[in-house]
Structure 1
Amino acid sequence: MHMAMIQKILWDGAKERLRAACETLIDASQVISITKSPSADQRTEVEINGPDRLFMGDLLLTPFQWVTLMKNSQRPATSSKLRRIKRKVGEDPPFRPWEGSLIPYRFDSSLREGSRVAVVKAIRLWQENTCLKLKEHSHGQFSEGILFVENRHMCSSFVGKVGHVQNISISWPQCATVGLVAHQIGHALGLLHEQNRLDRQRHVAVSYRSLDLNFYDLVTRLRSDLLIDFALPYDLGSVMHVASMRSTKGGNVAGIVAVDPNYQWTIGQRKKPSFLDYKLVNLLYCADKCQTTLPCQHDGYEDVNDCRKCRCPFGLGGSFCERAEVQDGEELCGGELTAHRKDSFLKTPTDGSRRCSWLLRSGESNAMVHLQFVQLNMSCEERTCSTSFVEIKTGPRFDSTGYRFCCNRLPPRNHFTSVGPEMLVIFESGGHLHSEFALRYRSIQNQTIQTTTVATPITTEVEEMDGCPCSPWEPWGECTQECGGCGSQSRTRHCSDDRRHLCPSVQSRKCNFESCEGSKMIVNNGEFHLLFNGCCVGMQLQPDGLCKPSAAITSILGTLLNIGQ
């Protein structure tokens, strides 16, 4: 039986049990309204393929990769150093990079000319920004490489190198765009989806009750020894990140939203790979390319195609990424601006420039830059600002994608303060002549600027948004269950602002994590819970006797199907 059929049978057979299991997971505390479904040119590979055809929306998996994902969180995680050592000595990693930097490819005779054009453009993006060279092998026997084929219904790829010849499928015309093809090539190079990172909950909230069950694997969090991220920042603007997605259960509620609502129109772009997408591939394939170390600023790094210069984050330029990027032939567009205590204004360029960048610096010591939108009238994209937008990077890092805004919608939180003395503003017109914006900025004092970055604390179940115009939270209520991590408790607050749909007034979390002794189920307070090893479904028993939430939905599925036990 074909592996895809086996996977589907296993998945379908566990759906109802998995639905019950996931009901024990706390819902994300924030949702956002989506007024309409995306148009054809804004659909992602997941929406084109449908939710139940492929694992994680668009992945083709080998049997070994499938079983490994099913066992995702069954084994304790090791230190990052040990994981690197294991990979170096070849502990059969499920997702393997290609050997060397040269990857052959061929077009299948079924592939249409329009798809071939998109493939060539996507390959050019990866080649210009990494050390990889994808070379067409058009004649003779093709024994190893990527074969681009047409599929009437799907766009899909294997992850990493899986054999001799492996397919990337492109559905015509839905998938024949540069961004969607670049996404599939990213998979073939070894990249998984950004939202599957273990640290996703700091950046993206998931409302499981708003998602169709078939999408649950799409938001599974994977151990860091399965999803290699080299400790790079989470990037909501990655071409490998899922879009917000309208619920398939009906209604206008998104199941996947940015924790910081100002990032909502950044996630899900399929225009081109981000700076960190390229950097991740360079770390994976080109780490030893440059033997010299340059003093690159603003999180730039040595250019693997020319080690004498720095490769700079989008919007930055100069020999060492020390200044704002200036486009060729547009010397007056962008540059460095100094923020003072009095308000200054930054407006749309009047020379018809397509892209401009401004690096705002505070003119005072121990001070930050504060910015606010006064006007925004850009070309409108339905849910992701990827063509015409204004992007704000507040620091302290400048390599990850910033806040992006388009249309005529002002930011949900229209106050931006830099983390440090600098802020970057990027304007992309997308060729639209009537794109307009106006910003007000100034310098503000901060007596508590820290010289080190402090990690944001994470609670187990609550992915909280700050800065909401609400009253303080009431005390936590009583836990509904006594053990096993099955119970929940809630607290409330009053929100009376026009943004209250983005600010939760009720918050829930799990509680009482001690394991339940001698019982396989709990029936109490109108709730029914199954127990495994004294822990509620979705939890795992730890050596200290406490039940801990699983790192991913796949671990629940693996338990239900007895895979790898």
Structure 2
Amino acid sequence: MAENVPEKTRQKIRLALAIWQNATCLRFIEGGPDTDRIEFFDGGGCSSFVGRAGGTQGISIATPGCDLVGIIAHEIGHALGTFHEQARPDQSQHIAVHYSNIPAIRWNNFQPIGDDQAQTLGLPYDAGSVMHYGPFGFAADQFRPTISTLDKHWLFTIGQREAPSFLDIEAINRAYGCTGQCPTDLWCLHGGYTDPNDCSRCVCPIGFGGTFCGEVQPSPCGGVIKASPMVQTVASPDFPGNFPSDLFCVWLFRSPPKGHLFIEFVEESFGYPCEDTCDKAFVELKMGPDFRVTGYRFCCSSPPLMTFQSVGEEAVIIHNGGTQTEQRAGFRARVWSEKKWPVTTEEEEQISTETKWGNAVNGAEVSGTERARTTEATMAQTNGDGQNTTRGEKPMPTSQPPPEVPMPTSSSSFPSVMPMPFSSSSPSVMPMPFSSSSPSVMPMPFSSSSPSVMPMPSSSSSPPPPPSSNECSLCLQWSEWSDCSQMCGGCGRKTRRRHCPSAVSCQREEKRICNRMACPEGTNFLFNNGEFHLLWKGCCVGLFLNNSTAKGDGSSVRGECGPLENMKVLMSSPEYEEGDE
């Protein structure tokens, strides 16, 4: 980390690195001896190269403005090889970009990457990716969006900067070969996959848990609910009173065989803190079939006034209380199925509702079974009429079955989600052996030199401590910088070296990008000094043309090639002013 990065920001950088490290087979070594490395510095904005650029490549984290763990994780995602989610090759199937409200110099952040430069790794589009811009990213008029989701219910999901999504993590695990490290792949349910850091268990999508992702995700509230034609209600804790912060609840709903689930939010008292992106406190709805995809998120004071229908026999509601201090009531929802459970015994005919709080039901531990016999509802109670209610709310009539014809659903098929295509250029992390003929995001061959991050089989061991400044002081002075190996496009590197005692684990060679002016128009590759580089719009693959200026004769002067620049903050982070990152 550069000297101009304050200690508080360094701690957040380490937290962001830990998120990626703990969920993948990658290992980050602070202050390691490798030539190819990532350097965090305060460059006045938030920016990163896409994939490994070679040598010392910078990630700019400005303080204040970019010093949020989620934003730092976003920039690390770029260095690991992912583009922006909204720039996926299948962009047009999921969002509309309003270029008329975006400054032309920022269009490169929104333009879709071609299939010849990126791979989606077979993963779906993810509105909840940490790599996705929010609806007002780089807006010239901040009252008009720059991105609209084709499915309107995903509009408030895009742009979250809390942490990488399930699919963000899975993309990195696939691209770096982490998913192939276990000797046997487990039979994981609901889109889970074998944990590369613990081959005895599965990594589960949000909402699911258990060894094989067949159970509801453990939470102090929520549970498993068997739906039937009789309407049941669920609500956030203490509804209609204010829900406590820092409380995460998951409800897993199951319909009878060949049935569907129908969910309606009740408008009365619905309330969460208002944000352009619902990523602090919200209610999330997953209707399948792909539960890896981040669901519809809703916040503020107006619930969606429609009936949602599941694609299959399961659905999930997630309540995230966040760390908000604003007092809000949360949600209440009505749930039912159009099918009845088959009656085989008197026990199965009786669908009971039991209270669950702190993972206990009536004082007993709840077993996570695939076909739970009882209905678990957060702080639910049964009144004298056998109606399911939630503490603090009036019982809703349940004697009336839902309409015979189900109301229209939000969508019969979810567009799926995923982290941005993965760059075939290796970042400061050394992937498992990977074919250069099938890059994950961009056609950049992996370097054989050891980077600052390496895939390791286990997350239990701590990375070695960085070398001390006293130890590295035993090294001789750095040499002068060499000439740049290329003339344009940011493809070249300048190098300097120093001698260190053999017992000292300090950096001995440093390389940095040089000659970043874009190559003349029409130049598609560079081949000299024993190097071959592909160009895209005059820039080395992995870099982007960030600016160009028009001349009086109608021509333009080529700009510089550099990293993707991102927004310092989203409008959902009011504590900062918006600017370039």
Q: How far does residue 371 in structure 1 lie from its aligned partner after superposition?
A: 3.5
Q: How far does residue 142 in structure 1 lie from its aligned partner after superposition?
A: 5.7
Instruction: Find the partner of 1:333 among 221, 241, 249.
Output: 221
Q: Check if 1:192 corresponds to 2:80.
A: no
Q: Secondary structure at the match of 2:29?
A: strand
What residue number does 2:301 align with?
A: 408
Q: Conserved in 2, the CA contact under 8 Å of 1:372 and 1:416?
A: no
Q: How far does residue 229 in structure 1 lie from its aligned partner after superposition?
A: 1.6
Q: Could you tell me how far apart the structure 1 residues matched to 2:42 and 2:246 are?
A: 38
Q: Check if 1:430 corresponds to 2:390.
A: no
What residue number does 1:258 align with?
A: 149
Q: Secondary structure at the match of 2:185?
A: coil
Q: How far does residue 300 in structure 1 lie from its aligned partner after superposition?
A: 0.6
Instruction: Decide whether aligned partners of structure 1 residues 353 and 175 sit closer, same or farther in structure 2, where only a CA change above 3 A counts.
Output: closer
Using the size of structure 2 for normalisation, the TM-score is 0.56
Gaps of 5+ in 2: 239-243, 340-405, 417-517, 526-581
What residue number does 1:129 align with?
A: 23
Q: Check if 1:118 corresponds to 2:12.
A: yes
Q: How far does residue 388 in structure 1 lie from its aligned partner after superposition?
A: 0.4
Q: Secondary structure at the match of 1:195?
A: helix
Q: Could you tell me how far apart the structure 2 residues matched to 1:399 and 1:196 are?
A: 20
Cα distance per residue 1:43-77 (max 9 Å; x no partner): xxxxxxxxxxxxxxxxxxxxxxxxxxxxxxxxxxx
What residue number does 2:128 align with?
A: 237
Q: Conserved in 2, the CA contact under 8 Å of 1:156 and 1:169?
A: yes
Q: Conserved in 1, the CA contact under 8 Å of 2:261 and 2:335?
A: no
Q: Could you tell me how far apart the structure 2 residues matched to 1:376 and 1:389 are?
A: 14
Instruction: Decide whether aligned partners of structure 1 residues 455 and 401 sit closer, same or farther in structure 2, where only a CA change above 3 A counts.
Output: closer
Q: Conserved in 2, the CA contact under 8 Å of 1:312 and 1:321?
A: yes
Instruction: Find the partner of 2:97 among 206, 223, 232.
Output: 206
Q: Check if 1:363 corresponds to 2:256.
A: yes
Number of matched pairs: 347
Q: Could you tell me how far apart the structure 1 residues matched to 2:250 and 2:179 are?
A: 29
Q: Could you tell me how far apart the structure 1 residues matched to 2:29 and 2:205 are?
A: 27
Q: Check if 1:108 corresponds to 2:2.
A: yes
Q: Could you tell me how far apart the structure 2 residues matched to 1:396 and 1:307 are?
A: 26
C-alpha RMSD of the superposition: 2.9
Q: How far does residue 368 in structure 1 lie from its aligned partner after superposition?
A: 3.5
Q: Conserved in 2, the CA contact under 8 Å of 1:364 and 1:443?
A: no
Q: How far does residue 148 in structure 1 lie from its aligned partner after superposition?
A: 1.2
Q: Could you tell me how far apart the structure 2 residues matched to 1:402 and 1:295 are?
A: 24
Q: Conserved in 2, the CA contact under 8 Å of 1:371 and 1:441?
A: yes
Which deviates more from structure 2 when the two are superposed, residues 333-342 or residues 298-307? 333-342
Q: Conserved in 2, the CA contact under 8 Å of 1:369 and 1:442?
A: yes
Cα distance per residue 1:412-463 (max 9 Å; x no partner): x5321100111111110013464421011111368xx9xx98999xxxxxxx
**Structure 1 segment 292-331 matched on structure 2, within 5 A:** 292-327=184-219
What residue number does 2:181 align with?
A: 289
Q: Could you tell me how far apart the structure 1 residues matched to 2:151 and 2:312 are?
A: 19
Q: How far does residue 216 in structure 1 lie from its aligned partner after superposition?
A: 2.1
Cα distance per residue 1:501-537 (max 9 Å; x no partner): xxxxxxxxxxxxxxxxxxxxxxxxxxxxxxxxxxxxx
2:289 maps to a residue whose letter is P
* Sequence identity (%): 36
Q: Secondary structure at the match of 1:266?
A: coil
| Higher helix residue share | 1
Cα distance per residue 1:314-346 (max 9 Å; x no partner): 12101111121113xxxx512110111121100
Q: Conserved in 1, the CA contact under 8 Å of 2:106 and 2:138?
A: no
Q: How far does residue 561 in structure 1 lie from its aligned partner after superposition?
A: 4.7
Instruction: Decide whether aligned partners of structure 1 residues 373 and 247 sit closer, same or farther in structure 2, where only a CA change above 3 A counts.
Output: farther
Q: Could you tell me how far apart the structure 2 residues matched to 1:405 and 1:454 are?
A: 17
Q: Could you tell me how far apart the structure 1 residues matched to 2:206 and 2:63 are?
A: 31
2:323 maps to a residue whose letter is G
What residue number does 1:279 align with?
A: 170
Structure with bigger gyration radius: 2
1:227 maps to a residue whose letter is A
Cα distance per residue 1:233-267 (max 9 Å; x no partner): 10010000111116744372212111111111100
Instruction: Decide whether aligned partners of structure 1 residues 453 and 437 sit closer, same or farther in structure 2, where only a CA change above 3 A counts.
Output: closer
Q: Could you tell me how far apart the structure 2 residues matched to 1:128 and 1:293 are?
A: 19
Instruction: Decide whether aligned partners of structure 1 residues 321 and 374 sit closer, same or farther in structure 2, where only a CA change above 3 A counts.
Output: farther
Q: Could you tell me how far apart the structure 2 residues matched to 1:563 and 1:336 are?
A: 60
1:343 maps to a residue whose letter is V
Q: Conserved in 2, the CA contact under 8 Å of 1:368 and 1:422?
A: yes
Instruction: Decide whether aligned partners of structure 1 residues 399 and 111 sit closer, same or farther in structure 2, where only a CA change above 3 A counts.
Output: same
What residue number does 1:8 align with?
A: none
Gaps of 5+ in 1: 1-106, 457-557
**Structure 1 segment 138-537 matched on structure 2, within 5 A:** 143-151=35-43, 153-245=44-136, 248-250=139-141, 252-285=143-176, 286-327=178-219, 333-350=221-238, 354-375=247-268, 377-411=270-304, 414-432=306-324, 434-444=328-338
Q: How far does residue 197 in structure 1 lie from its aligned partner after superposition?
A: 0.7
Q: Could you tell me how far apart the structure 1 residues matched to 2:142 and 2:21 are?
A: 42
1:256 maps to a residue whose letter is I
What residue number does 2:524 align with?
A: 564
Q: Could you tell me how far apart the structure 2 residues matched to 1:185 and 1:200 are?
A: 22
Q: How far does residue 159 in structure 1 lie from its aligned partner after superposition?
A: 1.4
Instruction: Decide whether aligned partners of structure 1 residues 212 and 283 sit closer, same or farther in structure 2, where only a CA change above 3 A counts.
Output: same
Q: How far does residue 377 in structure 1 lie from its aligned partner after superposition?
A: 3.9
Q: Could you tell me how far apart the structure 2 residues matched to 1:454 and 1:260 are?
A: 9
